[in-house]
């Protein structure tokens, strides 16, 4: 009962930190089940070994200025203090805007049972956002709101999250850009003000037989202004070596929000594969295709992720780590 109250209290806090938002501003991760640390800092140290991973996403190929994201992360676990520590660096481009960010993560893994843990994580970092005015085509000549060249701003960022996990499931809640309400971004420019986003994730590992298992998962993402987004996925695993999955992404029309009809009706289908190339080394790929909403045309997206789990000096895992 105390655990439930604690999760409820923290969830309420994360919901309350949002302020005015101007649409989705953070990268999307179709392979969130393979790369949870990019969404939730409480995942840091989950593998209980040194874990390095990278992620590249090219969204809406064929569209000029479409989003492009590259990120790398590393974390490890300090058994004596039950702490996970790590860091990550990412760069995200969208049209004339480019963002580079670096974070340091720390998470405390509280043991609740033989294989059950609740981790509390935070990620503190610095973000540099740049707008190249020479890439913009304003309707009016000499528009004073459009910079003639590159304009930059640097600001601190804070992420926080909870991650409840056992040998066969996980439930996570996280928020990012939590300092937007206390940092002054008013510089008279057209830089997009960052605003908090909330993430809810969950996954379950189900053994079917000796060779096959099934992993359904979900991710809910909300910026409290644009339509909320829901990803529903399922992956079939063969001999713990090969993952084959599919998913469906759709927007959720939240009460009291006004936006373009095309946004709330936007949906996409996803396909995913992950291969264990050798001990500790995995390669993941995801393909998204927009099927409704704004002009779908050639709106396809490609995700690639590579990760390496270093072998432990001594075995300390009580249960396997499927996520």
| Mean of pLDDT over the chain | 81
Please state the domain extents for the chain: 2-309
- Predicted confidence at residue 223, as pLDDT, reads 85
Q: What pLDDT band is residue 59 in, cutting at 50, 70 and 90?
A: confident
Average pLDDT for residues 287-301, to the nearest whole number?
72
pLDDT at 296 over 60: no
Alpha carbons 51 and 279: distance in angstroms, whole number = 13
Q: Report the alpha-carbon distance of residue 184 to residue 167 in Å, rounded.
A: 43
Q: Please tell me the class of the 2-309 domain.
A: mainly beta
Distance CA 166, CA 33 (A): 15
Q: What does each C-alpha distance from 190 to 133, 148, 194 come to in angstroms?
A: 10, 12, 12
Residue 103 confidence (pLDDT) above 80: yes
Residue linked to tokens 């995942």: 43
The pLDDT score that the predictor gives to residue 147 is 57
> pTM of the predicted model, to two decimals?
0.83
Of residues 138 and 153, more confidence is placed in 153
Residue 133 parent element (H or E): none
Half-sphere exposure of 271 (CA within 13 A, CB side): 4
Give me the mean pLDDT over the 188-192 stretch. Answer: 53
């Amino acid at each position: 009962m105390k655990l439930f109250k604690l999760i409820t209290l923290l969830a309420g806090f994360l919901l309350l930190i949002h302020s005015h938002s101007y649409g989705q501003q953070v990268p999307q991760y179709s392979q969130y089940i393979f790369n949870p640390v990019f969404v939730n800092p409480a995942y840091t140290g989950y593998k209980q070994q040194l874990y390095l991973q990278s992620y590249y996403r090219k969204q809406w190929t064929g569209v000029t200025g479409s989003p492009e994201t590259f990120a790398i992360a590393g974390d490890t676990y300090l058994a004596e203090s039950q702490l996970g520590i790590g860091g990550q660096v990412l760069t995200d481009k969208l049209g004339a805007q480019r963002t580079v960010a670096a974070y340091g993560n720390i998470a405390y893994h509280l043991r609740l049972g033989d294989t059950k843990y609740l981790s509390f994580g935070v990620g503190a970092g610095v973000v540099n956002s740049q707008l190249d005015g020479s890439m913009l085509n304003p309707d009016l000549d000499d528009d004073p709101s459009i910079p003639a060249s590159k304009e930059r701003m640097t600001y601190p960022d804070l992420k926080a999250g909870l991650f409840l996990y056992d040998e066969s499931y996980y439930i996570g809640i996280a928020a990012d850009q939590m300092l937007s309400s206390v940092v002054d971004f008013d510089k008279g420019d057209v830089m997009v003000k960052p605003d908090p986003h909330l993430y809810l994730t969950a996954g379950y590992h189900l053994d079917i037989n000796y060779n096959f298992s099934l992993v359904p998962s979900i991710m809910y993402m909300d910026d409290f202004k644009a339509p909320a987004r829901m990803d529903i996925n399922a992956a079939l695993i063969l001999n713990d070596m090969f993952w084959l999955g599919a998913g469906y992404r759709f927007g959720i029309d939240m009460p009291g929000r006004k936006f373009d009809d095309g946004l709330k009706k936007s949906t996409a289908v996803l396909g995913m594969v992950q291969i264990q190339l050798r001990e500790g080394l995995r390669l993941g790929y995801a393909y998204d295709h927009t099927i409704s909403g704004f002009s779908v045309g050639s709106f396809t997206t490609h995700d690639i992720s590579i990760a390496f789990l270093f072998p432990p000096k001594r075995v300390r895992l009580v249960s396997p780590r499927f996520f």
